[in-house]
Amino acid sequence: MAKPELDIKKILIISAVAILVVISGIIFYNNYRIKALNEEFSAKLLVMNKEILGSINSMQQDLDSEISSLRNNLTLKIDVIDTGLASFRKKNEQEIGALNSLIDEIEKQSDIKLNELKDEISTIQVKSTDFSAIIDDVVQSVVSVGTNKGQGSGAIIDDRGFIVTNYHVVEDSSIIRVLTYEGKVYDAALIGYNDLADVAVLKVNADLESLRFGDSDDVRVGERVIALGNPAGLSFTVTEGIVSAVHRPGPNGLNIYLQTDVPINPGNSGGPLVDANSRIIGLNNFKISGFEGLGFAIESNAVEQISDDIIEQYLQQTGQ
């Protein structure tokens, strides 16, 4: 009876051991599987992380590229706009400049036409009567030139106070003063001269009414003219005559003289010879002694060129 119990116990023990072995095997297998799954998951997670990081890097690169492209496009567009604005501004400035030039030209032409109309009216008045119609205007621009050596006459040729006269009137003078028709006296400075042509330009610090030059090449023999000046100290005297010849040679060998029958007396030198249009056509210069009606005036074209050169050089030197 004792053996069966022993066999049962053995069976139970063997069964228990077998169960333990099986359970241990199951646990070991499960642990192995869990470890393998963990490793597989970790590997997959690592791959996923790499893929995600790669995607993020790629997206970042794409984003940076898009931003750079947008920035370049924006810069290009800004440059195009700036260029367009600069071109528009330049064109606008050019158009404004052209408009201003056109306005200045219109004003200039208007002034010229107005002056021409005034000249025509004056000419009509002179031709219908005599020179009395222009005397009041012309004499305002004639001055008496006094120096410590003597005296002569001059003509105002620029509103800024430039006066033309003969060089021999002011030569070697230390004091030069001019007297206007209105009785005002100004100290004058000799700013330049041409001793061969006997032309000098004076400058006073005053705004004065000027005469304009005529074209001496248009002067005709027989044309009536007037000489203005201060002969023998008789201020602002007017004498009338005609042009006897043109392009006469002078003592200096220059063919730049108008011959007239207008009396030229001491004090007349440097005064203007004026035509019926109130234009300076000559600068009274000298007469031949012993003969009446043989006066000579330097032609206006020569006087104008010399005086313009002197004034231009003076303005450049003084920065005006």
On whether the CB atoms of residues 152 and 231 are closer than 8 A, the answer is no
Rounded alpha-carbon distances, angstroms, from residue 105 to 71, 110, 115: 50, 8, 15
**Residue 198 appears among annotated catalytic residues:** yes
Helix (H) / strand (E) element for 112: namely helix 2-128
User: What was the pLDDT predicted at 188?
Assistant: 96
**Residue 168 appears among annotated catalytic residues:** yes
Q: Which tokens in the block code for residue 84?
A: 């367009």
User: What was the pLDDT predicted at 124?
Assistant: 42
Which one from 122, 141, 144, 198 is the annotated catalytic residue?
Answer: 198
Which one from 141, 269, 300, 307 is the annotated catalytic residue?
Answer: 269
User: What was the pLDDT predicted at 290?
Assistant: 64
Compute mean pLDDT per 10 residues along the chain, 320 residues long, and list them: 66 79 79 78 78 79 81 79 76 75 73 65 46 84 92 94 96 94 94 96 95 95 90 75 92 92 82 93 85 85 97 91
**Residue 247 appears among annotated catalytic residues:** no
Which one from 141, 153, 168, 210 is the annotated catalytic residue?
Answer: 168
User: What was the pLDDT predicted at 8?
Assistant: 79
* Structural domains of the chain, with CATH: 132-318 (2.40.10.120)
User: What was the pLDDT predicted at 126?
Assistant: 42
Rounded-to-integer distance, Cα 39 and Cα 307, Å? 111
User: What was the pLDDT predicted at 5?
Assistant: 65
Count Cβ atoms below 10 Å from residue 309 Cβ, excluding itself: 13
